[in-house]
């Protein structure tokens, strides 16, 4: 299979694409792959680190208000379609896959114009503007949250696959990694984590809770995010931390430590949810209210209504609320089991294989 993949801007669009590519390689189904992105997003650095061929196009997102910037954006969009057409003609893919972000709009739309089979993947419970636009033109729409189905009018195109990222972590087992951070692997541990860059509101509340956390029988692994770490260190100078609390800026290869967690507290991005549900890790979500269409809240609500997680809206996040919620879960083994069981029910451990089946069937149908 020769495939072009496009998605960018955030890791939530890039990592599912990368998971799909890796699974195709593992199954020896991939003859060739090309990733098309921009130089302004994260994708070039991440994809080239994986030694995957990468080409960049110049494009920017549309603003909601009309301005001169809108004219410039439209100009770049038209030019990016021309560039994408040339890339597709040169590469001759069997299928083109878009995983979100404005860069995928021109690549997938160009493939549609050239009558190349097309698939988009929507990771969130609220469809992005790019995927809503592309949904009118593509051959198949793969999705991870059932709540998103009503946001696409082309119901016959919809196929549930889950998030390919889930399959990358589904087979991970506890591996005693807590010892790497000076913690005891056999003691229940909560990880508090605001994403790769960290989240200031979560950090602020956690700092205010450290004295109380130090008195608990469970352990706390507080991941600040690299950009916040030095500032957090300054703020905790006067706090006497217990041996059960460790603070780190970031954890490389984060998924590998998840099976060792009794509880994870953090944001509710699509990638995080895919990983946590694949492993059945009890979670408390604090959705970011700053993302488009408040989709993290919708993501979290999908789990809360299935009794697979708890949620604390950021505006209600206090030290008392955080402590009370963590204590509630870690002191109640029945609640932990219920959250873990229901979370695992929502996981899709074969998500990449499901998406590959969609691609294979589409290619056969359109030959």
Distance of CA 280 to the CA centre of its chain: 16
126: helix, strand or coil: coil
Distance, C-alpha 320 to centroid of its chain? 29
Phi then psi for 246, rounded to 5 degrees? -130, 140
Contact 98, 68 (CB under 8 A): no
- Is 251 annotated for ligand binding? yes
Please list the residues that pair with 3 across neighbouring strands.
Answer: 33, 95
Is 220 within 8 Å of 284 (Cβ atoms)?
no
98 labelled binding-site residue: no
Asked if residues 45 and 26 have their Cβ atoms less than 8 Å apart, the reply is no
Tokens 């992005």 belong to which residue?
A: 128
Structure tokens at 323: 């402590």
Q: How far apart are CA 160 and CA 348, in angstroms?
A: 10
> Of 245, 316, 310, 255, which is closest to residue 282 (Cα–Cα)?
310
Complete DSSP assignment for 249-272: S--TTGGGGGGG-SEEEE---HHH
Nearest to 258 by CA among 231, 31, 266, 212: 266
Determine contact, residues 126/295, Cβ cutoff 8 Å: yes
Residue 206 among known ligand-binding residues: no
Q: Is 10 annotated as a binding residue?
A: yes
Residue 69: its H or E element: helix 68-91
* Burial label, 214 (beta-carbon count in 10 A; 0-12, 13-18, 19+): middle
124 assigned to a ligand binding site? yes
Please enumerate, by residue number, every residue annotated as part of a binding site for UDP-N-acetyl-alpha-D-glucosamine: 10-12, 124, 196, 251, 296
């Amino acid at each position: 299979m020769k495939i072009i993949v496009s998605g960018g801007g955030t890791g939530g669009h890039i990592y599912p694409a990368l998971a799909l590519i890796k699974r195709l390689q593992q199954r020896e189904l991939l003859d060739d792959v090309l990733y098309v992105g921009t130089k302004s997003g994260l994708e070039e650095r991440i994809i080239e680190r994986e030694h995957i061929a990468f080409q960049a196009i110049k494009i920017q997102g549309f603003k909601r208000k009309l301005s001169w910037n809108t004219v410039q954006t439209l100009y770049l969009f038209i030019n990016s379609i021309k560039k994408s057409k040339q890339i597709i003609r040169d590469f001759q893919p069997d299928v083109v896959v878009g995983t979100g972000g404005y860069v995928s709009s021109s690549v997938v739309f160009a493939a549609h114009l050239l009558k190349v089979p097309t698939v988009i993947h929507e990771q969130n419970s609220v469809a992005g503007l790019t995927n809503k636009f592309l949904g009118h033109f593509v051959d198949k729409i793969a999705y991870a949250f059932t709540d998103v189905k009503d946001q696409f009018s082309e119901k016959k195109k919809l196929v549930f696959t889950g998030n390919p990222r889930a399959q990358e972590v589904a087979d991970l087992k506890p591996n005693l990694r807590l010892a790497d951070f000076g913690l005891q692997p056999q003691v229940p541990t909560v990880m508090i984590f605001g994403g790769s860059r960290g989240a200031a509101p979560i950090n602020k509340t956690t700092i205010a809770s450290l004295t109380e956390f130090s008195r608990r029988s469970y352990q706390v692994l507080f991941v600040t995010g690299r950009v916040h770490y030095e500032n957090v260190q300054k703020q905790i100078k006067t706090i006497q931390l217990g041996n059960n609390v460790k603070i780190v800026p970031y954890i490389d290869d984060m998924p590998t430590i998840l099976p060792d967690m009794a509880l994870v507290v953090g944001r509710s991005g699509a990638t995080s949810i895919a990983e946590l549900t694949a492993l059945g890790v009890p979670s408390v979500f604090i959705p970011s209210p700053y993302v488009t269409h408040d989709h993290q809240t919708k993501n979290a609500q999908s789990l809360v209504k299935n009794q697979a997680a708890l949620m604390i809206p950021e505006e209600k996040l206090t030290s008392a609320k955080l402590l009370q919620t963590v204590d509630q879960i870690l002191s109640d083994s029945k609640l932990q089991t219920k959250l873990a069981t229901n979370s695992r029910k929502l996981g899709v451990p074969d998500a990449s294989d499901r998406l590959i089946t969609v691609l294979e069937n589409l290619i056969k149908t359109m030959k």
